[in-house]
Amino acid sequence: MSDDDRMPDKLRERLGSSDGRHLFVPSHFDFSDPRGILDFIHHTPLAQIVCRHRGEIRITATPLLHETALDDGGHIFIGHLARRNPQSRAIREGADGTAVIQGPDAYISPRWNVENPGLPTWSYVDVQLRGRFEPLEDEADRRWVLDRTIAHMERHADRPWHLDDAPPELVATLLRHIVAFRFRVHDMQGVQRLNQNRKPVDKQGIVAGLLSCGDPGSTRIAALMAAAMTDQPGDRD
């Protein structure tokens, strides 16, 4: 018998079924709208890219930028790694991989629930991308990936920094020591665990409790909850 089989009916209803194909996504925490996922990645580009290469799991943190949508529903992202990183060999060989992008997160205390105390839990936003890496070997392509990445990260600056601002010999050295890639994604899944299964009065208590913590994760989760409550008011218990 599985844990789900032993779970009380009322608790199973509260937790919801899983809609995830690979990522565990309880139905009321589903975050599958492609536009929402792309907007999330646009503002949270740092990904943990994961792939298996010659029997070993390799994981590297690197920003991913969306390049284009495909007619078949897939998406292409671009990124880069240090050439001396062992994972770059998997990239150059066109390995399959997963990118995990973690958004804000926060602990949720039962003290903050007004009507139904419940148990402690954790709120968070998480996205996973699955696809295949394609190396970009040409130097012009490697520079293009760096230019795109820098422009994205400098986009709010009054006087953005450009790769042309660096000494040419330093840029030439950098380009020799990176591996750029396209990540051809065929599956995007996300979860937004924002207490959607709580009654409005409990959500309000949780938002107040999160704001009292003062740390960036709690503050961001509170803002996301407040926005969701404004967009979709009502009782989802």
- State pLDDT tens for residues 91-108: 999 999 999 999 999 999
> What is the pLDDT at residue 209?
97
Both tokens assigned to 19: 């809609």
Torsions phi, psi for 217 (to 5 deg): -65, -45
Cβ atoms < 10 Å from Cβ of 186: 14
| Number of other CB atoms surrounding residue 77 within 10 Å | 24
Percent of the chain predicted with pLDDT > 70: 88
Beta strand pairing call for 46-53 and 56-63? antiparallel
17-61 confidence digits (pLDDT tens): 445 556 778 788 888 899 999 999 999 999 999 999 888 999 999
Number of residues that this document lists for the chain = 237
Q: CA nearest 188: which of 103, 100, 102, 125?
A: 100
Residue type, 99: A
pLDDT, average across residues 185-203: 93
Confidence bin at 81 (pLDDT 50/70/90): very high
CA distance 112 to 208: 8
pLDDT value, residue 232: 60
Q: Which of 232, 215, 193, 198 is nearest to 18 (CA)?
A: 193
Spatial separation of the C-alpha atoms in residues 3 and 41, rounded to whole Å: 33
Q: What is the pLDDT of residues 132-143, one digit of tens each?
A: 999 999 999 999
11 has a pLDDT exceeding 80: no
